[in-house]
Amino acid sequence: MRNIYKMLILLSFAACNEKVELEKLSVSENLKREINNASNELGIICYFQGDCSICYGNIMNINKNFSDTPLIIITQATDTVLINYNLDKIDFKGKLIIDSTALFYKKNENILKDNKLLLVNPNYDILDKSKFLMDNEIIEKFKYTIINYDKEQ
């Protein structure tokens, strides 16, 4: 019986040491240049339609709670006047990318259909994700991931 317990303990330690394979965003070279995350930091990518008032409230909340983390918004919307007006109203500090061809969405549809908010490393591995709602639980979850990522580096 003791040998079984020892075996279970050893297996649990071995499982802890295995690397978990992260989902990866498919990002074209053009989009990488446009994002230009030269700082090699984590970033928050937010994918949204561009005409949703609740979305702008969430972006404002992300802006406020993650001011030290680069925020990249990607949208298919082409009404840049309206988008820029709304982003100016909420004092947006990130980068806006217009994906008029929807190429980013098409390449990542399996991820983006359920998750519009992605915490990624410089290699575009997804460290955490969420539907678009930015509530306190998700804020804490993202902050925890950021802190632990910094410790690992």
The domains of the chain, with CATH numbers, are 24-152 (3.40.30.10)
Residue 92 one-letter amino acid: F
Cα separation of 59 and 8, whole Å?
45
pTM: 0.81
Q: Which two tokens stand for residue 74?
A: 């990607």
Contacts with 63 (C-beta within 8 Å, 6 or more apart), sequence order: 71, 90, 91, 92, 93, 94
Q: What is the CA radius of gyration of the chain?
A: 18
Per-residue pLDDT of the chain (153 residues; tens, 9 = 90+): 554 444 444 444 444 445 568 899 999 888 888 887 555 689 999 998 887 888 898 899 999 999 999 999 999 988 899 999 999 999 998 999 999 899 999 999 999 999 999 999 999 999 999 987 678 899 999 999 999 986 676
Cα separation of 135 and 42, whole Å?
20
How many degrees, rounded to 5, is the angle at CA 48 between CA 110 and CA 78? 115
